[in-house]
């Protein structure tokens, strides 16, 4: 009986941590939408024009506040994911059988030293490696709604970036499945621009959840 009591306690703690993680990611996503609404300025876009004057096409105060909030939330998110990893290890060491629900949810967690989180909630440091390239975007699809265009080079797809991408499109597919009807943050390179987009995988009139086709880039493509 003592083992069962310990299992329930650990599982309950893990569920609370995962709920806190979802809340943090929602806050980060909300602030990411503010940046996207301000001319997709992102975390690194300029706040002054070519003559050095404050840009009048964006809300500079709003952008600065959103950026600062994202940085703070990212730090909290990283610490929280460390706690989740520890609790996951503890939980699996205490039980002899597997809880399918928790395993499914745990499989969505991309845990690495730079960024920890599932799906697209975290806007991380700028990447230099192109992971996939868009070569088709269907009309009226989620991809088109997100602003993706043919030729866009994707540097970050949710939790996947150049540091943890294993050159497998299956990784992208896993994020898409786990993040259906949720915001997935993308960082793309379009010509000489870096853009932050928000993609929502969902059912639509066409095939799949995205309505676009992506391919692996030529080897070692960087910007």
Over residues 18-31, the pLDDT tens digits come to: 888 888 888 888 88
| More confidently predicted of 112 and 51 | 51
Reply yes or no on whether the pLDDT at 195 is more than 80: yes
Q: Is 60 exceeded by the pLDDT of residue 6?
A: no
Q: For residue 107, how many other CB atoms are within 10 A of its CB? A: 11
- pLDDT exceeding 70 applies to what percent of the chain? 77
Task: Give the pLDDT of residue 74.
Answer: 85
Label residue 94 by pLDDT band (50, 70, 90): low
Alpha helices per DSSP H over the chain: 2-37, 60-94, 100-107, 142-146, 169-178
Q: What pLDDT score does 110 carry? A: 39
Sort 66 into a burial class: Cβ within 10 Å, 0-12 / 13-18 / 19+. buried
Q: What is the dihedral of CA 207, 189, 168, 161, to 10 degrees?
A: -120
Sign of CA dihedral 42, 28, 182, 84: positive
- In three-state secondary structure terms, 166 is coil
Task: For the chain, give the mean pLDDT.
Answer: 79
What is the distance between the alpha carbons of residues 107 and 153, in angstroms, rounded to a whole number?
A: 26
So what's the pLDDT on residue 149? 93
- The whole-number pLDDT of residue 93 equals 65
Q: What are the tens digits of pLDDT across the range 104-158?
A: 454 444 333 334 333 343 444 445 789 999 999 999 999 999 999 999 999 999 8
Confidence band (pLDDT; 50, 70, 90) for 213? Answer: very high
Domains of the chain from N-terminus onward: 2-117 (no CATH), 132-215 (2.30.42.10)
Q: Which of 6 and 45 is assigned the larger pLDDT?
A: 45
With 0.75 as the threshold, say if the pTM is over it. no
**209 or 107: which leads in pLDDT:** 209
**What are the φ and ψ backbone dihedral angles of 132, each rounded to 5 degrees?**
-145, 160
* Cα dihedral sign, 60-62-67-71: positive
Q: What is the pLDDT of residue 79?
A: 85
């Amino acid at each position: 009986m003592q083992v069962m009591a310990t299992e329930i306690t650990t599982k309950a703690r893990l569920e609370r941590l995962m709920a806190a993680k979802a809340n943090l990611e929602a806050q980060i996503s909300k602030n990411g939408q503010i940046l996207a609404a301000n001319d997709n300025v992102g975390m690194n876009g300029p706040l002054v024009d070519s003559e050095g004057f404050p840009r009048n096409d964006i809300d500079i105060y709003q952008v600065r506040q959103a950026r600062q909030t994202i940085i703070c939330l990212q730090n909290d998110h990283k610490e929280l994911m460390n706690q989740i990893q520890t609790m996951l290890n503890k939980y699996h060491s205490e039980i002899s059988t597997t809880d399918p629900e928790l395993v499914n949810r745990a499989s969505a967690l991309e845990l690495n030293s730079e960024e920890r989180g599932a799906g697209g909630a975290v806007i991380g440091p700028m990447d230099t490696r192109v992971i996939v390239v868009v070569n088709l975007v269907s009309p009226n699809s989620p991809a088109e709604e997100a602003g993706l265009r043919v030729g866009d080079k994707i540097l970050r797809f949710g939790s996947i970036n150049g540091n943890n991408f294993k050159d497998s499109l299956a990784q992208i597919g896993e994020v898409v499945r786990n993040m259906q009807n949720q915001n997935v943050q993308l960082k793309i390179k379009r010509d000489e621009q870096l853009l932050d987009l928000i993609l929502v995988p969902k059912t639509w009139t066409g095939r799949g959840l995205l309505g676009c086709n992506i391919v692996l880039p030529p080897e070692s493509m960087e910007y």
